[in-house]
Chain A
C-alpha cells in the first residue's frame, strides 16, 4: 500500500508534498515517512495519507481546464491601470498576482514544446 507524505519544514509553514512510501499499515507508514523524508531534510511535521484517499484532478484529464479555457484578464489586478502603490496591501496583492501570472505563462510556453498543445 502506498502512502503519500507531506512535509512541513518549520512551524507555521504550509505542508508540501515530499514523496511517498510503501507500508502495510498506518504505524509503519508513519515510521517509513520519517526515515525517508524527515531524516536529512529539515522537518517539523509530516502528514501521511493513504494514496487511495487522495483524489487527483489533472490538467490533462478529459474536460478539465485549470483556470478555465477562456480569457480572464478581467480577473487580474494587472488588467486595471489605476495606481496600486497608494496602499501597501494592494501593491502586495498585485505583486503576488504578477508572480502567479508569470508562472502560468512560463508553464504555458514550456508545456507547448513537450506536449500536444495544452489548454492555456
Chain B
C-alpha cells in the first residue's frame, strides 16, 4: 500500500497485520506505540514504591493492583508494536534499559511522598486516559484492541487516585498544606504533559494524516483542563498564579502561557538527559537485571516451544 492510499483509507481500526503497510507508516506507529508502552512501564516504576509505603492495607492492595495493571498494559502495547515488524519486544526493552527509549515527561520524576501520589494517579493518569480514549479510534487495529482493554481497567486507577486525593484534601490542615505543596510542584509538569502548545512536531502531522492519532495535543490538553481543573478547585487546591492558565469563555478554551513553563527542562527530560529521569531509567534497568535468573529459568524450560508444530504434525 502506498502512502496516498493509506491517507485516503485512514480511519478507526482500518489497518492490521495482514495489510501491507508502507515503511513510513510502520515506523511512525512503532515510534508512537513504543513510547506509549515505555510510559506504562516507567509509570509503574513511579508508583511502585507506594506498594510498600501505602498507609493502609486497602491502599496497598489497590496500588499493587495498579502497578500490575500498568506492567500488563506495557506488555500489550509492546505486542501491538511488535506486529508492525520494525522492532522486537526485546529490542524495545533493551532501548529502554540503555536510556534510548523515550517516554512521558511526568514519569521521569520520582515521587517523594504519599501526597504526591494523586498527582500521578489522578491528574497524570487522567491526562493519559483522556488521550487513550481517543486512541480506541486509531488506524492500527492491534493498538486499538490494546486500548479497549487498557481503558476498561483504567477507570479504577483514576477513581482510586481521586479517592486518595479526596482523603487528603479533606484531612487535617497539615494534610491540605502538604497536598497543596505537592500540587504546586507537579502542576507545571502536568501542564507540559501534552507538549508545547501549537505542536510543531514533525511527527504529529503525519500521524494525524494516517489516522494513528485522532486528536491534536492542543485539543487534548484543552479537554483535559476542562475536566480536571474544576476537580482541583473542588478539592480546595489553589491553582498557582504561574504558570498562567487563562480561560477564554467565548471560545471555551484554556490558554497556557508557554513562556511561564520551563521548556529547557522539558526537552532535557524528553532526550532522557534529565538527572532524575536517568535515575528512574537506571532503577528499572537494575530491577530488570536483578530478575534475569527468573527469565533464564523460565526460558530454559521451554526448549521445545509450543505453537511451532505444523498441522501435519498432529
Q: A77-B155, A84-B159, A94-B155 are contacts. A26–B230 as well, Cβ < 8 Å?
A: no
Q: A72-B65, A74-B65, A94-B155 are contacts. A87–B162 as well, Cβ < 8 Å?
A: no
Q: How many residues of A contact B (CB 8 A)?
A: 31
**How many B residues are at the interface, by size bracket?**
35 or more
Task: Annotate B161-185 by CB proximity to A: 1 below 8 A, 0 otherwise.
Answer: 0110010000000000000000000
Task: List, in ascending order, chain A residues with CB within 8 A of B130's CB.
Answer: 87, 89
Q: How distant is the Cα of A111 from the Cα of B231 in the complex, in angstroms?
A: 42
Asked whether A97 lies within 8 Å of B65 as measured between CB atoms, the reply is no
Check A56 for interface membership: any CB of B closer than 8 A.
Answer: no
The dominant DSSP class at the B interface is helix
Asked whether B311 lies within 8 Å of A89 as measured between CB atoms, the reply is no
Check A82 for interface membership: any CB of B closer than 8 A.
Answer: yes
Check B58 for interface membership: any CB of A closer than 8 A.
Answer: yes
Q: B230 to nearest A CB, angstroms? A: 7
Check B300 for interface membership: any CB of A closer than 8 A.
Answer: no
Q: A74-B65, A89-B133 are contacts. A80–B154 as well, Cβ < 8 Å?
A: no
Q: Which residues of A1-50 have CB atoms within 8 Å of chain B's CB atoms? A: 1, 12, 14, 25-26, 29, 50
Asked whether A55 lies within 8 Å of B306 as measured between CB atoms, the reply is yes
Task: List, in ascending order, chain B residues with CB within 8 A of A57's CB.
Answer: none
Asked whether A94 lies within 8 Å of B314 as measured between CB atoms, the reply is no
Q: A6 to nearest B CB, angstroms? A: 14
Residue among A50, A75, A87 with the most chain B CB within 10 A?
A: A87
Q: How distant is the Cα of A92 from the Cα of B152 in the complex, in angstroms?
A: 8
Task: Annotate B142-164 by CB proximity to A: 1 below 8 A, 0 otherwise.
Answer: 00010000011111101110110
Q: A72-B65, A74-B58, A94-B159 are contacts. A50–B314 as well, Cβ < 8 Å?
A: yes
Q: How distant is the Cα of A116 from the Cα of B151 in the complex, in angstroms?
A: 35
Q: How distant is the Cα of A74 from the Cα of B162 in the complex, in angstroms?
A: 14
Asked whether A82 lies within 8 Å of B159 as measured between CB atoms, the reply is yes
Q: A25-B312, A55-B306, A74-B58 are contacts. A87–B227 as well, Cβ < 8 Å?
A: yes
Q: A54 to nearest B CB, angstroms? A: 10
Task: Annotate B54-89 by CB proximity to A: 1 below 8 A, 0 otherwise.
Answer: 000010011001000000000000000000000000
Partner of B162, one of A55, A80, A92, A94: A80
Residue among B13, B129, B162 with the most chain A CB within 10 A?
A: B162
Task: List, in ascending order, chain A residues with CB within 8 A of B133's CB.
Answer: 88-89, 92
Asked whether A86 lies within 8 Å of B227 as measured between CB atoms, the reply is yes
Task: List, in ascending order, chain A residues with CB within 8 A of B227's CB.
Answer: 86-87
Asked whether A53 lies within 8 Å of B309 as measured between CB atoms, the reply is yes
Q: A74-B61, A87-B130 are contacts. A82–B166 as well, Cβ < 8 Å?
A: yes
Asked whether A75 lies within 8 Å of B65 as measured between CB atoms, the reply is yes
Asked whether A75 lies within 8 Å of B314 as measured between CB atoms, the reply is no
Partner of B155, one of A14, A72, A86, A90: A90
Q: How distant is the Cα of A25 from the Cα of B153 in the complex, in angstroms?
A: 41
Check B12 for interface membership: any CB of A closer than 8 A.
Answer: yes
Partner of B62, one of A75, A92, A100: A75
Q: How distant is the Cα of A79 from the Cα of B133 in the complex, in angstroms?
A: 22
Asked whether A1 lies within 8 Å of B311 as measured between CB atoms, the reply is yes
Sorted nearest first, the 3 A-B pairs with minimum C-beta distance are A93-B155, A89-B133, A77-B155
6 contacts between A and B (CB under 8 A): A52-B314, A53-B311, A82-B162, A90-B158, A93-B152, A93-B155
Identify the A interface with B (CB < 8 A): 1, 12, 14, 25-26, 29, 50, 52-53, 55, 72, 74-77, 79-82, 84, 86-90, 92-94, 96-97, 100
